[in-house]
Amino acid sequence: MDETVVKKTRANKKVVIGISGASGIIYGLRAVEVLKEYGYDQYVIITNAAIKVAEKENGIDLVHEVRKFTSNIFMENEIDAPTSSSSFTVTTKGMIIIPCSINTLAYIAHGFASNLLTRSAINYLRSRQKLVLVIRETPLGQIELYNALKIAKAGGIIMPASPGFYIKPTKIQDLIDFIVGKALDLLGIRNELYKRWSKSDQDPSYQVS
C-alpha cells in the first residue's frame, strides 16, 4: 500500500480527547466509550481539575474509568506526551475537549500553552487541524464570548453543550448522546447516537416562519 494512503488511514482512526474541569465530565467519558466501540485509537488528556470534578459530580475515579477504554491516558503535566508536538496533530482525525472549562477556553484563546491540554489544542489551531471545544457554562459573559470568538477566528469550533429537544428525549442518556454525537459529527465521525432532524418528523401544525 502507498505510504501516503497508510498515513491517511491511520489518521482516520486517531482522535485526541481532552477532559477538563467543567461540569459535564459524563460527556467526555461517554465520548471515550463510544470511540472505543468504533475502533478509534484514542489519546486522552485529563486535567487535575477534571479528576476533582468527576469525584464530586459523579463519584468516580476518572482515570480508572477512562482506562477501561484506552491505555493512552496523559495528565496535564506530561508535556512530553505525543500530543505535545504539532507534528502529531496531522496524523489524527482531530481533537475534542469535552467538557471544556471556561479557564481552558481562556488559556487557549490567549495562546497560553501552560499544560498538555492547552498546548495540544494550540497545536491543532496552528496546524489548521480540527479542534472542537464543548463548553459547558452558563451564562456566558463578554469575556467568555470574546475568547470563544478568538478561537473560532483561529479555526476552532465552539460547541456549547446545549442539547436539542427535537429528539424527544426520554432519559438523561439521550441528552448526553446528543451532545457527544454532535461533537463526533464535527470531526467527521459517523455515528447514530441521536436521531437526526427530519422534516417528516415535524408536527403538521408547525410552520416555519
Query: Does 209 map to a domain?
Result: no
**Range of the structural domain that residue 69 is part of:** 3-201
Mean pLDDT for 48-68 is 98
If you count them, how many residues does the chain have? 209
Q: Is 136 annotated as a binding residue?
A: yes
Query: Does 208 map to a domain?
Result: no
Q: Does the structure show a pLDDT above 50 at 5? A: no
Residue 68, CB-side half-sphere exposure with 13 Å CA sphere: 13
Q: Is 43 annotated as a binding residue?
A: no
Q: What is the pLDDT of residues 146-198, one digit of tens each?
A: 999 999 999 999 999 999 999 999 999 999 999 999 999 999 999 999 998 87
CATH number for position 61: 3.40.50.1950
The total number of structural domains in the chain stands at 1
Q: Is 23 annotated as a binding residue?
A: yes
Q: Is 166 annotated as a binding residue?
A: yes
Query: What does 28-84 look like in DSSP terms, one character per residue?
Result: HHHHHHHHHHTT-EEEEEE-HHHHHHHHHHH-S-HHHHHTTT-S-EEETT-TTSGGG
Q: What is the pTM of this model?
A: 0.90
Query: Does 53 map to a domain?
Result: yes
Q: Is 92 annotated as a binding residue?
A: no
Largest CA distance in the chain: 58
Q: Is 45 annotated as a binding residue?
A: no
* Residue entry with cell 468504533: 38
Closest CA to 22 of 131, 111, 114, 100: 100
Q: Which of 2-6, 23-27, 41-45 has the lowest mean pLDDT?
A: 2-6
Q: Is 22 annotated as a binding residue?
A: yes
Residue 20 makes CB contacts below 8 A (sequence gap 6+) with: 47, 49, 50, 97, 99, 100, 101, 103, 104, 117
CA 10 to the chain's CA centroid = 20
